[in-house]
Amino acid sequence: MNKTPNYDLTQWEQSDRILMTDFNADNAKLDAILASQQAALTAQGAAIAKCGNCQLYFTTYTGTGTYGTGSPSSLTFPGQPCFILIQSPEGSYLIALRGAAVYQALMSGTNSYFPGRLTWSGNTVSWNGDYAHSQMNTKDAVYRVLALLAADE
């Protein structure tokens, strides 16, 4: 009697006596191999699901003109934000990275950066600056917001 090279399964020759124990042993080997392959495919599927583990989210808001520590701006997202970009109508922008306590707002047409403070809580981020324009909250201005939300949270 011969065995297959990869899984050591029984290969009978014409003169061999065929036994039920050989069949059962081969079936047990095949079952173990298939179970192992299924587990590997399940693990691979879970890993693939985490690839590109972010979701793009776009929204807008209209500024109220308030600013400072007593009047923070805030946004609540449908998922946990990891990165936020806010752009003013004239092209100034604010970038916020999850966990950072401060941001820098770059004012359009200048090389001026204005610092501000960030607070993160679940799906909500709040920020405040020393001026309405650096807090991205100029009265009646419509701001565009692009966020990357964690899809694996």
Which of residues 139 and 42 earns the better pLDDT score?
Answer: 139
pLDDT at 32: 85
Mean pLDDT of 18-32: 85
Question: What DSSP letter does each residue of 68-86 carry, written as one string?
Answer: STTS-EEEE-SS-EEEEEE
What kind and span of H or E run contains 35? helix 20-49
Mean pLDDT lowest among 1-5, 123-127, 143-147 = 1-5
Contacts of 22 (CB under 8 A, 6+ apart): 1, 10, 12
Residues 72-122: pLDDT tens digits?
Answer: 999 999 999 999 999 999 988 999 999 999 998 888 877 778 889 999 999
Residues 2-16: pLDDT tens digits?
Answer: 888 888 888 888 888
Mean pLDDT of 113-142: 93
Mean pLDDT of 117-131: 93
pLDDT at 140: 97
Residues 30-73: pLDDT tens digits?
Answer: 888 888 888 888 887 777 666 667 889 999 999 999 999 999 99
Which of residues 21 and 75 earns the better pLDDT score?
Answer: 75
d(C-alpha 65, C-alpha 132), whole Å? 6
Contacts of 7 (CB under 8 A, 6+ apart): 29, 30, 33
pLDDT at 67: 95
